Structure 1
Amino acid sequence: MKLLVATQNKHKKEEIEAILNPSFEVVTLSDLNDFDEVEETGDSFFENALLKASYYAKKHQMLTLADDSGLCIDALNGEPGIYSARYSGGSDQENIQLVLDKLRDTQDRGAHFTCVLVLYDPSTNAHQSFQGDLYGIIESKPKGSNGFGYDPIFFVPEYKQTLAEMHSKHKNLISHRAIALQALKEALI
């Protein structure tokens, strides 16, 4: 079965394929040469994921999966949250540096990643949502070269590593997106 994943991000495609294969043939917006941007005007991860899923599902008439995810830091009242990808207005490294600067004088380094997936069926206009959370601690400096986004500063105590220090196969088993995708997979089977 074909599944449109509403992303241009090749890392997300790889992660989703690794979890959903062989149940689905994953197609991304890049594969369809679709470079439209859906403005994320929602006030929550769910609202933003639903906006994207419904837009692309209706546009391409395909079962569509969209996600919104981000890092929520306790000491920053949940920031960067839904603004995680564009927190600093710059690159991943600039986002990381902004977080580290804001946490410089605090001992409270608790955080969690949240991922909300929305699966939208354009033939019925029905949707389902799935959420995954991964709890950890923000490191004082980046460690590791795997992963993307905030992975180099997100330390997972149970594994004594940042997400960027983990092999991608291991990360794909424990990440917030993996937890949400596992819930999706179970619901579909």
Structure 2
Amino acid sequence: MQLVFASNNPNKIKEIQLLLPSNIQILSLEDIGCTEEIPETAPTIEGNAIQKANYVTQKYGYPCFADDTGLEVEALNGEPGVYSARYAGNQRDANDNMDKLLTNLANQSNRTAQFKTIICLNLLGQQHLFEGIVKGQIITEKIGNQGFGYDPIFVPNGYNQTFAEMPIEEKSKISHRGLAVEKLVAFLTK
């Protein structure tokens, strides 16, 4: 089975391909000739995942899944949330985003946060949503050089390492994206 994953992020594609059984092959947006920026203008994480999957299915005709992820910080009323990638501006720079978040949390004792991923699958004329959530804490400095995004400042509950300190195989088993993909795979293989 071939499915388009509505992403050109090589880190996400690698992480997800590791989680899929060998009979499911991922095609990237580049693989199908989609070079334009897909809109992500919905006010929710769910809405953005749906918007991206619908864009690919409607414009290119492929069965497709898309994800959107947000980091939701309790003390900041759920920020950055749906704006996680652009938290510090449209340049989408992970270090700028982390710096802004750490600054905004500087005087907060509550550092509870969660990563939330929604995957939207468009297959055989039907749409399905899968959610993955991992709870944890935002630490006060960046540690680790694996992963991407906010991984260097997020420690999942029950662990003493940031996502950026974990090998990708370990992170993908427990991460928000990993949990959502697990539900996607269970659906595709039943």
Instruction: Flag whether TM exceeds 0.5 (same fold).
Output: yes
Q: 1:109 aligns with which of 87, 111, 126?
A: 111
> Secondary structure of the equivalent of 1:158?
coil
Aligned letter for 2:48?
A: N
Q: Are residues 1:150 and 2:154 paired?
A: no
Gaps of 5+ in 1: none
Q: Structure 2: how far apart are the matches of 1:39 and 1:32?
A: 17
Q: Structure 1: how far apart are the matches of 2:167 and 2:41?
A: 34
1:157 offset after TM fit, Å?
Answer: 3.3
Q: Structure 1: how far apart are the matches of 2:156 and 2:45?
A: 22
Q: Structure 2: how far apart are the matches of 1:33 and 1:54?
A: 16
* Partner in structure 2 of residue 135 of structure 1: 135
1:158 offset after TM fit, Å?
Answer: 1.0
State the Cα deviation string for residues 88-147 of structure 1 (Å, max 9, x = none): 0141000000000000001000000000000013x52x2000000000000000000000
> Secondary structure of the equivalent of 1:50?
helix
Runs of 4+ displaced beyond 2 Å: none
* Partner in structure 2 of residue 31 of structure 1: 31
* Backbone CA RMSD of aligned residues: 1.0
* Partner in structure 2 of residue 50 of structure 1: 50
TM-score by length of 1: 0.96
1:34 offset after TM fit, Å?
Answer: 1.5
Identity %: 38
Aligned letter for 1:43?
A: P
* Partner in structure 2 of residue 11 of structure 1: 11
* Partner in structure 1 of residue 20 of structure 2: 20
Q: Structure 1: how far apart are the matches of 2:179 and 2:138?
A: 20
State the Cα deviation string for residues 30-81 of structure 1 (Å, max 9, x = none): 2233111222221211111111101101222111000110100000000000
Q: Structure 1: how far apart are the matches of 2:9 and 2:21?
A: 18
Aligned letter for 2:86?
A: R
Residues 176-187 of structure 1 correspond to what in structure 2 (within 5 A)? 176-187=176-187
Q: Structure 1: how far apart are the matches of 2:11 and 2:32?
A: 17
Q: Are residues 1:95 and 2:113 paired?
A: no
Aligned letter for 1:116?
A: I
Stretch deviating more after TM superposition (72-81 or 60-69): 60-69
Aligned letter for 2:183?
A: A
> Secondary structure of the equivalent of 2:31?
coil
Aligned letter for 1:82?
A: V
- Alignment coverage as a number of residue pairs: 187
* Partner in structure 1 of residue 165 of structure 2: 165
Q: Structure 1: how far apart are the matches of 2:181 and 2:115?
A: 14
